[in-house]
Structure 1
Amino acid sequence: MNTILLVEDDCGFRELLAEALQREGFQVQCAVNGRDALSRLEQFTPDVILLDLMMPGMDGFDLLTRRSDRTPVIVISALDSEEERIKGYELGADDFLTKPFSIKELLVRIQVLARRLQPAADSKAGTDVCFDEARYAVQFGDSQVVLTQTEFKLFRYLFERKGQVVTKAELQRSVLHKELGRFDRNLDMHISNTRRKLAQTRLPKSLINTVRGQGYSFAV
């Protein structure tokens, strides 16, 4: 799990936690409430959401109710009643961490969540995969995801090199047919959109892995 969406209205706490997670190697985007988080989830698909509950505008419970993605959620809240925890779990939260907490405990919770989700990803990665070039669709057993032409080409390129780390520069040249610029986020946007579509089809986003500082790989 490399990318995190931190949904927290307390500016000071949000900045401190984001900085601590970034020092641990995570990519962190922040949202100030549930409405802001929904907007960001339309643009990218994080590996995990860290979600406060009590926020103005749209609180964490509303976000859990309204979101359409299946991203794992760890609730981080000062609320510590059994009723609030049960409500969070019933609405789709995967874990509940009470403030204040240490960054070490949060990292352990993220690692445990990643281990719990990995078997499902491994199982899907071993499923027969069929490519429909006419519709830009990819079939995984009984599941199918329809992509754009560029997303389809990127996905197939990585699939044909599964187990290998493919650099961003190689993907940019071979699939997008241009050199990778220093501030070019076009490739990352296509990968993020593909992961979002995988999640919406109940397929694991981790089929496409981010290899920090190198590029991407397709899960073997």
Structure 2
Amino acid sequence: MKHILIIDLHAQADELFHQLTAQGYYVHKVNNAFDALVKMETLTLEAILLDFAVPKMDSFWLLVARQTSTPVIVIADVNNELERINALELGADDYLSHPINVRELQLRLNVLKRRSQGSVSDDMRQHVSFDDANYTVNLIDKSLVLTQTEYRLFKYLFEHQGEVVTKAELQQRVLHKKLGRFDRNLDMHISNTRRKLAKGNLPRDLINTVRGQGYSFSF
């Protein structure tokens, strides 16, 4: 379930609440900074929709104090250029004015999500290194020792991060033979690699199965 937090007092917020709920979001509506911070601490949020006009809100302090990377979109009654600049300077990720078009809001949320995922991925890439001599992958503060084949599979998928690599391509490029109709050798190596990831307290889903197509590497 995608959770969205609305921090607002206006009647328009009730309409937005119902529209987002109809789109499958689980919407939480609060009208003060304290309740907002509680929600932010206890929920995994897709986004925070924030009205700068909420009394005693001190939105600046909310934006500074939040301990989350959740995108914050400021909602205003009018499209005020100075307020929009102020909101972005204080740390907001985007700005919208009433009336809110839910479709536009969803598109903006998708853009913010892709941007966030790309940022996380780039940061993680900087903390991954490969030891070709010992078939070892170093991920931040952990080392993953693999067999030669597992290591080459992992490295190939990592180098093609974000792409779907077919089984046939992996079989040809890494195992250096054509993929047979009943060949499960590749699946076995992927399964063993995932098991070693889990044993090393690393996420198994670094290597994802794309049903009917192949595998992809993603943080």
TM-score calculated relative to the size of structure 2: 0.55
- 1:125 Cα deviation after fit: 4.9
Taking the aligned partners of 2:28 and 2:70, their CA distance within structure 1 comes to 14
Q: What secondary structure is seen at the aligned counterpart in 1 of 2:42?
A: coil
Maintained 8 Å contact 2:208/2:218: no
After TM superposition, the runs of 4+ consecutive aligned structure 1 residues lying more than 4 A away are none
What stretches of structure 2 of length at least 5 have no aligned partner?
129-138, 144-197, 210-216
What do you get for the CA RMSD once the two structures are aligned? 3.1
From the superposition, tell whether residues 87 and 79 of structure 1 become closer, same or farther in structure 2 (CA, over 3 Å): same
From the superposition, tell whether residues 16 and 163 of structure 1 become closer, same or farther in structure 2 (CA, over 3 Å): farther
Q: What secondary structure is seen at the aligned counterpart in 1 of 2:73?
A: strand
Q: Which has the higher contact order (CA 8 A, sep 6+)?
A: 1
Structure 2 residue aligned with 1:168: none
TM-score calculated relative to the size of structure 1: 0.55
Please give the per-residue CA displacement for 1:119-147, whole angstroms capped at 9, x wherever unaligned.
Answer: 11333454424459xxxxxxxxxxxxxxx
Taking the aligned partners of 1:161 and 1:115, their CA distance within structure 2 comes to 18
Structure 2 residue aligned with 1:8: 8
Structure 1 residue aligned with 2:75: 76
Determine whether 1:160 maps to 2:170.
Answer: no
Structure 1 residue aligned with 2:159: none
Taking the aligned partners of 2:116 and 2:205, their CA distance within structure 1 comes to 23
From the superposition, tell whether residues 7 and 64 of structure 1 become closer, same or farther in structure 2 (CA, over 3 Å): same
What stretches of structure 1 of length at least 5 have no aligned partner?
133-153, 166-217
- 1:36 Cα deviation after fit: 1.8
Q: What secondary structure is seen at the aligned counterpart in 2 of 1:114?
A: helix
From the superposition, tell whether residues 161 and 85 of structure 1 become closer, same or farther in structure 2 (CA, over 3 Å): closer
